[in-house]
Amino acid sequence: MNKPVVLVAEELSEAGLAVLGADFEVRHTDGADRSQLLPALADVDALIVRSATQVDAEAIAAASRLRVVARAGVGLDNVDVEAATKAGVMVVNAPTSNITSAAEHTVALILASARNVAQAHSALKDGEWKRSKYTGVELDEKVIGILGLGKIGQLVAQRLQPFGVEIIAYDPYLQPARAAAMGVRLASLEEVLQQADFITVHLPKSKETLGLIGDRELHMVKPSVRLINVARGGIIDENALYSALKEGRVAGAGIDVFAKEPCTDSPLFELDQVVVTPHLGASTHEAQEKAGTQVARSVKLALAGEFVPDA
């Protein structure tokens, strides 16, 4: 009997592949390359992706045998869940696999931005010993504004509290008492923009959040503010951020995600006040192992017609 076919369209951890084991025919393709992806989908039963593969209506239509799409990570913005559901395809993800990694990377970018770590590192490696140029700021007694106090936002708050900061958050879905129990004061978006010394985004990408921080919002912030985005590109408008940095209306930024990825060329790269990483929030061995094993288990259950619990 033919084994069900699982198409792995992006890198999956060894541990995840081991969970799939010998029960399936596992094939690999480059999901970011449509000319490879679409034909490869023709006879597969399951598809495993990260964030670079667009599982849109066209991809789903190209996969007549597809029963499950698994996203080895949290965000489902690269999967057309509605088209999948219409086609009877189950969509699963690994919703907690990388939240610790994303929160830790956020803290890394906040500190890197506060202390000019990347800029000073590059300058010194180029032979420049510039101590006053790279004078930074402390976190102590600063106001941290968190946009989206979900799982990752909460972990960021917990990790930053020992730095002696005040944490405020904008989250229209959370009760003020729940936030207060975490030592966080809920505020409106405007209040966060006006009061925070650091603003960090932890919202999913959606019609409502795309461009949430644009030109108007960046005219409301303190000129000393530093913005961090380890969530999704496009939530902070990159052109508006560039202008705000250039005009001195924003002091710095730590950016891990971009509206278009991969992004190897951006006006933001020209600015010394910006530290960037190539969508590394979830890129730790631990997170990838958890994401890989969680989605592989879900794929196994789904293809066996069994109940798939929330990971």
Residues forming the active site = 232, 261, 279
Minimum Å gap between C-beta 51 and ligand MLT is 4
* Structure tokens belonging to residue 251: 């002091």
DSSP structure string for 203-230: ---STTTTTSB-HHHHTTS-TT-EEEE-
Rg, C-alpha atoms of the chain: 21
Using CA atoms, how far apart are residues 66 and 62, in angstroms rounded to an integer? 9
Minimum Å gap between C-beta 141 and ligand MLT is 32
If the CB atoms of residues 10 and 238 are measured against ligand MLT, the closer one turns out to be 10
Q: Restricting to residues 74-93, which ones interact with ligand MLT according to CB under 6 A?
A: 74-75
Indicate which single residue of 13, 29, 53, 98 sits in contact with ligand MLT (rule: CB under 6 A).
Answer: 98
Indicate which single residue of 4, 41, 46, 50 sits in contact with ligand MLT (rule: CB under 6 A).
Answer: 50
Q: Is residue 233 at the binding interface for ligand MLT, with CB under 6 A as the rule?
A: no
* Structure tokens belonging to residue 67: 């029963």
Q: Is residue 103 at the binding interface for ligand MLT, with CB under 6 A as the rule?
A: no
Give bridge partners of residue 92 from the DSSP assignment. 70
If the CB atoms of residues 186 and 291 are measured against ligand MLT, the closer one turns out to be 291
Residues 6+ apart with CB under 8 A from 96: 74, 151, 290, 311
Q: Is residue 16 at the binding interface for ligand MLT, with CB under 6 A as the rule?
A: no
Q: Determine what percent of the chain falls in helix, strand and coil, rounding each to the nearest 5.
A: 35, 15, 45
* x/- letters, 244..283, toward ligand MLT (CB under 6 A): -----------------------------------x-xx-
If the CB atoms of residues 13 and 98 are measured against ligand MLT, the closer one turns out to be 98
* Structure tokens belonging to residue 168: 């405020």
Q: Is residue 51 at the binding interface for ligand MLT, with CB under 6 A as the rule?
A: yes
Find the helix or strand (DSSP H, E) in which 276 lies: strand 274-276
Minimum Å gap between C-beta 172 and ligand MLT is 21
Strands 166-170 and 198-201: unpaired
Using CA atoms, how far apart are residues 147 and 195, in angstroms rounded to an integer? 13
If the CB atoms of residues 281 and 292 are measured against ligand MLT, the closer one turns out to be 281
If the CB atoms of residues 75 and 252 are measured against ligand MLT, the closer one turns out to be 75
Applying CB under 6 A, the residues found at the interface with ligand MLT are 50-51, 73-75, 98, 279, 281-282
